[in-house]
Amino acid sequence: MRYSWLALVGFVLVLVLLAVALVQARQATLLRQVVQGGDDYVVLMVYQAETEQLRLRDQWQRAADDRVPLDADALRLRYEIWVSRVELLRGANLQHLLSGPDGDQRTLQQSVDFIQAADRALGPTPEIPLDRNFVNALMPQLEALTAPMHELSLGASHKVSEQLEARGIAVRQQNLLGLGLTAFLSVLTLAFAFIALRQVAQLRERRLVLEELATKLRVARREAEAASDAKSAFLANMSHEIRTPFHGLMGMLSLLRETGLTPRQIDYLRTATESADHLLALLNDILDMSQLESGRVTLAVTPVDLRALLRDVEALMRPQASAKPLALHIDADPGVPERILADATRVKQILFNLLANAIKFTDHGAVVLDVRTRVGDGGETSLEVAVTDTGVGMDEATLSQLFNRFVQGDNTRSRRHGGTGLGLEISRNLARLMGGDITVRSRPGEGSCFSFHMPLRMPPQSAPARTAPVPAGLPTPRPLQVLVAEDHPVNRQYMAALLENLGHHAHFTTNGQEAVQALGQRRYDVVLMDLHMPVLDGVGATRAIRALPDAARSTVPIVALTADAFAETRDRCLVAGMNDFLTKPVSLPKLAASLRRLFGSLPATPEDAAAPLEQTLGWAGGQPVVDEAAIAMALQAMSRGKLAAMVEAFLDQAPETVQRLRAAVRDAQPLELRTNAHAAKGAALNLGLAGLAATAEALHEGASHLPAHEIARLVQRYEDLVPVTRAALRTLGVLESAPQPVVTE
């Protein structure tokens, strides 16, 4: 209602403004007519014509007087002046000035008649001579013009006076009307201002109320965010608190399986293990959903060996399929590329969920995972993974609710098999985070087909390998004092050999805290910093170094050394203050290139290359045991005997590494498991031991979410790979029957 009154007053104000504008326009028109009408000028013309007629009459009378000599020139001049005035009158519009237009026309016609008669002697081309007879003959006609000309002058004057008076009255009326409208406009303006001020006051009060409400909402939002953070912290703490006894429980169950048990005890143990695995899977689903809700899930996109990924998935899912028993077939189309860009962990998680669901709801028959490429309508290529089963299938009502949270396809089977109902929603959210999606086709009694697709991204093509001679040594103009922070002894020996070949002096510490202390005692040219170390990791050590009071020591170049090639790891290192980032295995050219970027005066080194051997030794389905290219790079930095000694030392330490890994599984210490696996992975990568490095990486990635029995299986696989790796290295000629001892400084 308040806004309606305000709108009405505004509308009336606009109308008044329009009325004032019209009045002012009318006044302007009247004034223009008064000023530009020309009536005063016409009156002046009439008056001048009358005056000149009287003067001509006087001159004509003198010319007719016999007592005065005839002055023809004066008469002719006066005649021409009067004729010009008459011509002006004939051209002027006198209709609006005279009340009698007929008399006006007669007067002008009499003047014209006289002019025509006088022109015979006084015109431009006289026909007769000017004499007194001619003058006397036209005298009466000229005399007859005096009265009409006077009447014409008086009438024009009266008419103009009347018009001026009428215009004055009109102007006064318009002024009075304008003053009235202005007064009315002023009143309306004051009313509008009053209403506007009142509205402003009300709006100010409303703004204060809204600000108070916004403040309350901000407080409520902060409280909600705090509650959400508390929930996340609670879930993280519960994850740790629940996982710790769970890993211990499952580790002990795994160790118990290796003892002598009766068939009944084995059955009990199997039931306990399945229950523990199931409960841990529920916990993982809840935590994953919480992370997806908060937006904290990011993708670590790296080059992925797709077929190796499929082999890992098959190795983990085949025991579940065989227990039913079900046939499990995993196949990739020949056109599918070997390597793609993807987040391997998240892709595995999606495939695990889809295969686990297919196996769970299929009692007999087979589960098939098929990988192929698909070209869309727009020409884009995507990778499609279809998981098909011969289970009970689903109807339309079930399909419509399948991806809803906490909803499961078949309540009766769900109660039998359990589950949170989050697996498919988590998988679809992850798929959409990758730019793809998950769809499903199913019919009751005919099984189901889940299709997961995502954009196919290819890693950049690497340059073709070129054979280069193995350098005996690469001296540099200025040897550098290099501090290496590395906790693994094999990695320390490897880095010492690389730096020695480059002509630098290496100094070693076993953790980040020792590195900070070493820099506090003396100056170094560069620091090679491993990220995962006990006591103080590489990122913390970098921050501590950057905070040193000595400007020269706090600005020392720091190069990260890690087996993690993820973008977030690189960003974390650079944000902490590191200058460069090297991934393991660190080759001689990579290290030299990094030092050259930092110091600029180091000579170039050959490209990473080595002539591949004709025969590739493999283990476990074709997976290479050794990386010949990495071995060739290592031989560029050191002699074959030193490399053999380092490899032998690493393999001799393998039983101790396996013992530490098993202890971490038994004591439910995932962090300890990740630390030991990461150290083993980095050393194995540097030495070209691909099989051991891949198994250590699987342990590192699966330490927090894989079931304990799967972790125990990976530890056993690591132990089984040690003799196989030793045999492969002997076959390749890297190891001899009596390896040379390691030369230490």
Q: Considering the domain boundaries, does residue 609 fall inside one?
A: no
**Domain match, 317 and 444 both:** yes
Mean pLDDT of 334-354: 89
pLDDT (mean) for 187-212: 85
| SS3 (DSSP) at 733 | coil
Say how far apart CA 572 and CA 543 lie, in whole Å.
11
Give per-residue pLDDT as tens, 213-257.
999 999 998 888 777 667 665 665 565 456 545 544 655 565 566
Domain boundary among 77, 109, 144: 144
Mean pLDDT of 645-661: 90
The pLDDT, as a whole number, for residue 421 is: 57
**Residue 646 sits in the same domain as residue 591:** no
Q: Identify any residues that bridge with 624 across adjacent strands, giving them in sequence order.
A: 618
pLDDT, position 482: 95
What is the predicted pLDDT for the residue at 231?
Answer: 66
> Within this chain, do residues 423 and 524 fall inside the same structural domain, yes or no?
no
- Structural domain contains residue 66: yes
CA dist., res. 419 & res. 438, Å (int): 20
Long-range contacts of 321-325 (CB under 8 A, 24+ apart): 321/359, 321/367, 324/359, 324/362, 324/363, 324/364
| 103-107, 181-185, 488-492: which is most confident | 488-492
* Confidence (pLDDT) at 119: 85
Q: Dig out the tokens for 608 from the structure.
A: 């990473």
Q: Are residues 640 and 565 in the same domain?
A: no
Domain that holds residue 559: 481-599
pLDDT of residue 235: 62
Report pLDDT for 738.
Answer: 46
- Please list the alpha-helical segments (H only) found in 37-131: 39-64, 72-91, 101-122
Q: Is the pLDDT at 156 greater than 70, yes or no?
A: yes
Looking at the fold, whether 388 and 446 belong to one and the same domain comes out as yes
* Average pLDDT value for residue range 690-712: 80
What average pLDDT does the segment 345-361 reach? 88
pLDDT band at 519 (very low <50, low <70, confident <90, very high): very high
pLDDT top residue among 209 and 412: 209
Q: How far apart are CA 726 and CA 152, in angstroms?
A: 141
| C-alpha–C-alpha distance, residues 110 and 105, integer Å | 9
64 belongs to a structural domain: yes
Give pLDDT, residue 558: 93
What's the pLDDT band for 509 if we cut at 50, 70, 90? very high
Top mean pLDDT of 85-94, 343-352, 604-613 is at: 343-352
In this structure, of 177-186, 299-308, 418-427, 436-445, the range with the lowest mean pLDDT score is 418-427
Last residue of a domain, one of 552, 568, 599: 599
- Alpha-carbon gap, residue 336 to 385, rounded angstroms: 11
d(CA 499, CA 480): 9
pTM for the whole structure: 0.38
**Same structural domain, 505 and 572:** yes
Q: Is 242 exposed, middle or buried (0-12, 13-18, 19+ CB in 10 A)?
A: middle
CB-CB contact of 107 with 145 (8 Å): yes
pLDDT of residue 657 exceeding 50:
yes
Whether 97 is in a domain gets the answer yes
Mean pLDDT of 739-745: 42
Average pLDDT in the 346-351 region? 89
CA–CA–CA angle 605, 608, 610 (5° rounding) = 115
Looking at the predicted structure, is the pLDDT value of residue 419 above 50? Answer: no
CATH number at residue 559: 3.40.50.2300
**Dist CA 624 CA 689 (whole Å):** 9
pLDDT tens digits, one per residue of 454-496: 999 988 864 333 333 334 334 445 789 999 999 888 788 888 8
Residue 18 lies in a domain: no
Whether residue 322 is found in the same domain as residue 447: yes
Mean pLDDT of the chain: 78
**Model pLDDT for residues 265-284, shown as the tens digit of each residue:** 877 777 777 667 667 666 66
Q: Identify the band that residue 341 occupies on the pLDDT scale cut at 50, 70 and 90.
A: very high
Looking at the structure, tell me whether residues 442 and 310 fall in a common domain: yes
The reply to whether 317 falls in a domain is yes
Give strand pairing partners of 368: 329, 388
How far is Cα of residue 672 from the mean position of the Cα atoms in its chain? 39
Give the span between the Cα atoms of 397 and 389, in whole angstroms. 19
Percent of the chain with pLDDT over 70: 77
| Residue that wins the pLDDT comparison between 331 and 167 | 331
Work out the pLDDT band at 727, boundaries 50, 70, 90. Answer: confident
Give me the pLDDT at residue 405, please. Answer: 56
User: Which pLDDT score, from 0 to 100, does residue 606 have?
Assistant: 36
Say what the pLDDT of residue 473 is: 37
| Range picked from 38-42, 107-111, 174-178, 404-408 for highest mean pLDDT | 107-111
Nearest 5°: phi and psi at 641?
Answer: -65, -40
Domain-embedded: residue 560: yes
Most confident of 182-191, 420-429, 631-640, 683-692: 683-692
**Residue 442 contacts residue 376 (beta carbons within 8 Å):** no
- At 368-400, the pLDDT tens digits run 999 999 888 888 899 999 999 998 888 888 887
Residue ending a domain, choose from 599, 632, 656 = 599
User: How large is the average pLDDT for residues 344-373?
Assistant: 89
Q: Are strands 327-332 and 302-305 parallel, antiparallel or unpaired?
A: unpaired
Same domain, 512 and 446: no
Between 178 and 368, name the one with better pLDDT: 368
- Same domain, yes or no: 309 and 376: yes
Evaluate whether 560 touches 529 at the Cβ level (below 8 Å).
Answer: yes
Closest Cα to residue 376, out of 453, 473, 489? 453
CATH number at residue 391: 3.30.565.10
Give residue 619's pLDDT: 45
**pLDDT number for residue 621:** 38
CA angle 9, 12, 15 (to 5 degrees): 155
Q: Tell me, what's the pLDDT at 528?
A: 95
pLDDT computed for residue 241 by the predictor: 53
Q: How confident is the model at residue 605 (pLDDT cuts 50, 70, 90)?
A: very low
517 domain residue, yes or no: yes
- 507 and 400 share a domain? no
CATH number for the domain harbouring residue 632: 1.20.120.160
637 and 584, same domain (yes or no): no
What DSSP designation does 575 have? H
Region of poorest pLDDT, from 10-24, 82-96, 138-152, 464-478? 464-478
Identify the pLDDT of residue 602. Answer: 46
How many domains are there within the chain?
Answer: 4
> Do the Cβ atoms of 199 and 1 come closer than 8 Å?
no
